[in-house]
Every structure is written in structure tokens, then in C-alpha cells.
Copies of this chain bind each other. A is one copy, B any other.
Amino acid sequence: MRAEIIAVGTELLLGQIANTNAQFLSQKLAQIGVGVYFHTVVGDNSERLLQVIRLAAERSDLVIFSGGLGPTQDDLTKETVAAYVGVDLVTDANAMKYIEDFFTQRGIVMTENNRKQALVLAGSHVLPNDFGMAPGMAIRHDSTTFVLLPGPPSELYPMVDRYVMPYLIDLLPEKQVFHSRVFRFYGIGESALEERLLDLIEKQDNPTIAPYAKEFEVTLRVTARAATAEAGEALILPVEKEIRDRVGQYIYGTGEDSSLHEVLVNELRKRGESIACAESCTGGTVASLITSVPGSSSVFRGGIVCYTNEVKNQVLGVSEEVLATEGAVSEQTAKLLAENVREKLGTTYGVSVTGVAGPDSSEGKPVGLVYVGIAAEGLPTVVKELRLAGRRQAIVGRAAKFALFYALQMQKER
């Protein structure tokens, strides 16, 4: 199946937002083996939109639109597709009820243009919008399937996961199930990972193996297509074994939405443990990652951002002698920071980060030198030395994630 994605909205052509919907949809289509051949962005202009629709219908079997389903006059995706396909717009009763309830519940008078959002193409398959007013829809015309989706990502993403993917899988010529497993890595770069798995990636067919990098973490998705989930699982297992044999030490978790801080917080909760951190060069990044996880207050007691030697000394008890002889960026300081913050805040684990984030070197130590300390109840403290590349923000981001990764490793020892 040849697919293309059309985003409708002048705000995209003005550069006010990036076309992240196309990225999201492309990832989803790749997972079920549908090839995307073009992305197009067109403004809120029915003539140019119609040109784009004609061309897409000629060259693609599946055309997915995002945007232009809203209540204003600018929103004309439905109207233009209806004109091309030659059908009327009719009111969808469920969508209308959702809209009316929305206004009634809030005690607001509904303006007339909101009714427009309940209109759908006659004869289309309606895709419910669980987070907004305008439903999506799918309609076949000649040999092309048109899918119309709302523009806001908060509405489009769940609509795709809940309703569009099952609809598309059903469209595929062979009835099959897509069964996938996501592996999350830390401590290895995307290219190094690819190199270690190159022969697997090159000969991939079923299951497919797709690595991608995001926010200093690397993810590998293995997707099998088969008649049943069980048969898919059977295809994935030997590949998983091979991956774990080669790079298992870098895998910290599996699953889509589980970044390092989420895995760490969830593990701490499960085990009834707690954590505190002392941060110098990461300046609060470790704490803000941990506290970004809902419910982290049950495991995270607090953190000290000790940006100066006075704070390291007065608040965290690193002696002036250690700071003078070993330096703020040293194994010994990292060790004391981790131990002392753990003791001060009474937690199971204490994590520390001290290093040189740049742009300038410090204490004669090079940019990128970072020490991460992990103290844990009942275990000797571990300090890891890192040499990180990149600019200030990259060094800070990577150092913070390394701290989380080492905390997870320490947890396995306890």
C-alpha cells in the first residue's frame, strides 16, 4: 500500500509549528509495514488543497489528512474532500451530542459554528474524537482511501492509536497482526548500537528492527507480522535473545512510554524505596526529570542543587579540604555528595552529579568530565567517571540520564 500524508494549515507554512503529526503518522504506518511516499503541507485554501488531493489520489492508495476539521471558516478539509469525492456532509449524531453536552456541562452558550464540527462525509466510517469535538472519518473513493484527522496532536494521537490503526490493519490485503516489542537502551549511542546489530538490521524482514534516538536515549523497536499475536511473539523471541546476548547490559527497560526516569520511579514505588539527589553541573535536571513523573512524590524526598563550593560545604558537608585538594569535580566529592544527601534526607539512595558542563573548563578539568555518585543503604558507594561530548545542554542532559541509569543498576544489586 502506498500512503501519503497531507497536513492542512497556514500556521505550518508560516513556520509557527513543525509538522509533528506527519512524523507521528509516519512512525505508525512504518510499524504496520505501510510505505509513506510523500508528506505535503498546504495552506487553508480550497483551490490549492483540491490540487493536492487530485495529485494524491492519482499516486497513492491511502491519503491521510491532518487539520482543517475545526469550527472556523478557515477549516475546509471536509468540504474540499467532499467536493472531490462527490458526497454531501451530514451531521453525525454522536459527535453532535458530544458537542452539545460539552457546552451544557460548562453552562456556556454554544455558538452556531460549533455545529460544523459534527459534520462528516456521507457514507464515511466515523472515527470518534475522545479529546475534542471534531470526529475523524475515513472514506473510500475509486481505489483510494481518504482518512481525515483533526490537527491538534492531543486529539490526533489518541484517535490514531485507538481507531485509525485498527481500521488500517483491517484494510491490509492479508489479515495479520502486528506484534512489537520496544527495547530501551542507555549508555550506548545509536550508531554504536546499530554497528553491534548491523547484520540483524540488514537482513531484517520479519520481524523488522528499527532503532531511533530521542532525548539522549536509544530505542529499538522489533515488529513481527503474523496471523496471531502468539505467532508474532514466536518470531520476536529469537531476535530478542540475540539482541540481549549482544547488548543486553545497556537495556534498562521495555515498552513504549518508559523513559529512564519513569522506569526508575516505578521501580522505587514497587520496592517501597526512596531517593534524593545532590546536583552540581546538572543544576536540577535530575530532580526535574524524576519529579516529572506523576506520583514521584511518594519516592522522591528532595534534592540539593549545590552550584557553588559553599553550598557543597555548608549544606552537604563536603569538607573544605576535599574541595581544595581534590576539587569540586572529583571522585571524592561525588562520593561525599551522594552519601551526605542520602543521609541528610534519609533515603534509600543518594545520587550525585558533579562535572564540567562548559563552555569553559573548570579547576583545570576539561569540559565533559563528569562524576556520578550512587550511595545506597547497605552497599558501598559507587562513583562513575564519564567523558561526555557535545555542548553544554547535551552534557547536562546525558549526565542526568547517566545518573538515573546508574541508580537503576545499583537497584539491581540491592
Contact = CB atoms under 8 A, between A and B. Distances in A.
Given A23-B17, A392-B294, A307 B311 contact: no
Contacts of A285: 284, 288
Nearest to A28: B15
Interface centre among A22, A30, A310 (most CB of B within 10 A): A22
Contact of A302 (B25, B48, B307, B344): B307
Nearest to A48: B37
A26 B13 contact: yes
A393 interface: yes
Nearest to A316: B302
A28 to B, nearest CB: 8
A250 interface: no
Interface in A259-290: 277, 279, 282-288, 290
B297 A302 contact: no
Contact of A310 (B301, B303, B308, B315): B301
B24 A15 contact: yes
Contact of A41 (B39, B306, B308, B344): B39
A19 interface: yes
B301 A307 contact: yes
A105 interface: no
A148 B294 CA distance: 45
Interface residues of A, number: 67
Interface string A101-112: 000000000000
Interface string A8-49: 000011111111101111111110000111111111000010
Contacts of A26: 12-15
A40 B37 contact: no
A332 interface: no
A311 B302 contact: yes
Contacts of A336: none
Contacts of A310: 301, 345-346
B288 A282 contact: yes
A224 B345 CA distance: 56
Contact of A305 (B17, B28, B287, B359): B287
Contacts of A43: 37
Nearest to A308: B301
A358 interface: yes
A210 B344 CA distance: 51
Contacts of A16: 27, 212
A305 B304 contact: yes
Contacts of A300: 283, 307
Contact of A14 (B36, B297, B396): B36
Contact of A344 (B301, B315, B396): B315
Contacts of A35: 13
Contacts of A305: 277, 284, 287, 291, 302-305
Contacts of A22: 15, 18-19, 41
Contacts of A13: 26, 35-39
A41 B41 CA distance: 9
Contacts of A72: none
A292 interface: yes
A212 B16 CA distance: 6
A30 B15 contact: yes
A22 B25 CA distance: 18
Contact of A284 (B40, B286, B345, B346): B286
Given A17-B23, A284-B288, 19 more contacts: A12-B39, A13-B26, A13-B39, A14-B30, A15-B29, A18-B23, A19-B39, A37-B42, A39-B40, A283-B291, A287-B287, A288-B396, A291-B305, A291-B396, A292-B393, A297-B307, A302-B315, A303-B307, A315-B345
14 contacts: A13-B26, A14-B26, A15-B23, A15-B29, A16-B27, A18-B19, A18-B23, A38-B40, A284-B284, A284-B285, A284-B288, A287-B288, A303-B304, A315-B315
